[in-house]
Structure 1
């Protein structure tokens, strides 16, 4: 029950930060943004004090570690794959255009013109 109360408090702090942004509409933009950031920071601190909050932050940390293990393609590999995708798109567009014109020729020139004769 305490965790639920803390989550509600965290949500209220976030809402208060957003509300502060609109309530301070006559102030400088830096103060308005600061109100949102303070509300966000306070809500994160409160949410972190709960068991599900800690589990979420641990999961986020593990996700970042897993993302660091990913082998990203080099620039050369990226450009080669992009070129391959563009070439395939051009070939497929040409094929579909030819198929469309072929069907148009069969339907219009052969069948419809034949009926007029």
Structure 2
């Protein structure tokens, strides 16, 4: 129950920061943006101490570990793969166009005799 109250308080702090942006419409833009940042930081600070916040921190750290394991393709591999995809798209477009025109010829010229 305490976590739900903390999370609700965090949401209220973020909402207060956004409301401060509009309530301070007469102030400089920097002050308005700082109001939003203060609300968001305060909300994150309160949410950090909830169970969901702790789970998120663990999840984020696990995500960083997994991203470090990824083997990213080189520029050459990326360009080769992109070229293969483009070539395949062109071949498929030609195949579908030829299929469409062939069916059109068979149906309209041979079967229905609409163009003769």
CA RMSD of aligned residues (A): 1.6
Tell me by how many angstroms 1:109 deviates.
1.1
Q: In the aligned structure 1, how far is the partner of 2:28 from the partner of 2:87?
A: 51
Q: TM-score scaled by structure 2?
A: 0.91
Equivalent position of 2:5 in the other structure: 5
Equivalent position of 1:54 in the other structure: 54
Tell me by how many angstroms 1:27 deviates.
2.7
Equivalent position of 1:102 in the other structure: 102
The gaps in structure 1 that reach 5 residues or longer are: none
The structure 1 segments of at least 4 consecutive aligned residues displaced by more than 4 Å after TM superposition are: none
Tell me by how many angstroms 1:29 deviates.
2.4
Aligned residues: 116
Tell me by how many angstroms 1:25 deviates.
2.5
Q: TM-score scaled by structure 1?
A: 0.90
